[in-house]
Amino acid sequence: MVVVVLGGLALQSRAATLAIAVIIAVVALAAIILNFVYAHAHPVEAMMEGTEILAWQHQVLAAKYLQAPKDSPVIPNPTGEPPRSNPPEEIDAT
Q: pLDDT by residue (tens digit) across 50-74?
A: 788 888 888 888 877 777 667 655 5
In three-state secondary structure terms, 68 is: coil
The number of angstroms, rounded, from the C-alpha of 92 to the middle of its chain's C-alpha atoms is 55
In Å, what is the CA distance from 84 to each residue of 77, 81, 91, 92? Answer: 14, 9, 18, 21
- Quick one: DSSP state of residue 65? T
Q: Is the pLDDT of residue 87 over 80?
A: no
Q: Is the pLDDT of residue 6 over 70?
A: no
Q: Which residue would you say has higher pLDDT here, 70 or 75? A: 70
Cα within 13 Å of Cα(34), Cβ side: 6
Q: Which residue would you say has higher pLDDT here, 35 or 63? A: 35
pLDDT of amino acid 72: 59
pLDDT of amino acid 31: 94
